[in-house]
Amino acid sequence: MPKTATIHNYTYRFLHVSSPNDPDVHWAKISALHSLLSETSTAIANCDIVVSADDDVMSRHLHLPFEWLLNRWNFTHEHCMVMSKDPEWPELMNSRGEYNANADWRDCPSTDDSVEASEKFPGCKRFLYDFPAEQGVFGEFIRLRYRGVIKEVECDEATGFPRLSDGCEGVFVRHYTVD
């Protein structure tokens, strides 16, 4: 995504996450993103929109500005977040039978706040060490609480990796999520 940022003159920050206090890198990512979004003295504080992408995410059409994608996906000021749906794999389904969205969200509990998180979302501790980790917490708890203000995009447009043959091609964004 750094090339997209350069081409369209976006502010870009690379976050290297590793934390011995977090059970795995997924939770360290959430803690780092929360810290970044809490900063008020950096260029990020002047951004209208923050895009968080893992290092295995690539834009297929570098010439398309992110604003074009938000328009296509009907993202409005009523939404606080846009997330891509994940492929329909059984392990990515929550207890209500909904497939998870691919996890990126603002202001989620880190493991340092696990007591507070378990009070807000009873049962979330089961995701501390097990797949789908932070994505499971989002799919099980946060998505339900904020339904209507989170815009979900079909995986074919924003999560896909054609080699998996799961119907998600990644027309605009690809997530190379295989080992």
Q: What is the residue-wise DSSP string for 129-157?
A: SSTTHHHHHIIIIIHHHTTTTEEEE-HHH
pLDDT bracket for residue 73 (50, 70, 90): very high
In the numeric block, the tokens 């890198």 are attached to: 25
Q: How many CA atoms lie within 13 A of 63 on its CB side?
A: 0
Q: Comparing C-alpha atoms, which of 57, 4, 84, 55 is closest to residue 175?
A: 57
pLDDT of residue 178: 61
Taking residues 153-174, report their average pLDDT.
82
Do 62 and 7 touch, CB atoms closer than 8 A? yes
Q: Comparing C-alpha atoms, which of 34, 52, 61, 63 is closest to residue 103?
A: 52
pLDDT of 106 > 70? The answer is no
pLDDT of residue 108: 31
pTM score, whole prediction = 0.75
pLDDT bracket for residue 111 (50, 70, 90): very low
| Residue 150: strand pairing partners | 81
DSSP character string of 46-63: G-S------TTEEES-TT
pLDDT of 115 > 80? The answer is no
Q: Distance between CA atoms of 70 and 106, rounded to whole angstroms?
A: 17
* Tally of structural domains, the chain: 1
- CATH number of 127's domain: 3.90.550
Give pairs for 73-80: CB < 8 Å, separation 24+: 73/151, 73/153, 73/157, 73/158, 74/151, 75/151, 78/148, 78/149, 79/149, 79/150, 79/151, 80/106, 80/146, 80/149, 80/150
pLDDT of residue 72: 95
pLDDT of 150 > 90? The answer is no
- Domain coverage including residue 144: 2-175
Q: Which of 9-13, 21-25, 57-61 has the lowest mean pLDDT?
A: 21-25
pLDDT of residue 104: 42
| Residue 66: strand pairing partners | none
Structure-token pair, residue 42: 């950096």
